[in-house]
Amino acid sequence: KAGVTQTPRYLIKTRGQQVTLSCSPISGHRSVSWYQQTPGQGLQFLFEYFSETQRNKGNFPGRFSGRQFSNSRSEMNVSTLELGDSALYLCASSWGLEVNEQFFGPGTRLTVL
């Protein structure tokens, strides 16, 4: 069974641009969560989608948004990029809502210049 895939794996953008990251969950999984990992901050929860509905949201500005499609694939968008948005963005999928059943993808490394 294929794991969680994230595209692209690496991305370089400049300040002020916007970016869209994609996450394909494990087949059959209905929940997708997004996290931002930065040095010294660990993983910070961005948002969670379940059956196309945002179920939970972390403390990030409105520049960060996401959505989930009917096939459970999810995208997150960051508009008006700032240098501090440079991070590893991870998504995790699970069949249900139990957090101990989340499987993480390898992440997208975003660098903002």
Partner 1 sequence: DQQVKQNSPSLSVQEGRISILNCDYTNSMFDYFLWYKKYPAEGPTFLISISSIKDKNEDGRFTVFLNKSAKHLSLHIVPSQPGDSAVYFCAASAGNTDKLIFGTGTRLQVFP
Site for partner 1 in 90-109 (CB under 8 A): 90, 92, 96-107
d(CA 19, CA 53): 21
CA distance 55 to 80: 25
Between 15 and 68, CB nearer to partner 1:
68
Q: Tell me the site size for partner 1, rule CB under 8 A.
A: 26
Distance CA 100, CA 71 (A): 22
Of 82 and 101, which has the nearer Cβ to partner 1?
Answer: 101
Measure Cα distances from 61 to 29, 78, 82, 104 in Å: 27, 10, 12, 23
Least Cβ distance, residue 17 to partner 1 (angstroms): 25
Query: How are beta strands 19-24 and 5-7 bridged, if at all?
Result: antiparallel
Residues 13-52 that bind partner 1 (CB under 8 A): 33, 35, 40-45, 48
Site for partner 1 in 52-81 (CB under 8 A): 56, 58
Which residues in this chain contact partner 1 in the complex, by CB under 8 A?
4, 33, 35, 40-45, 48, 56, 58, 90, 92, 96-107
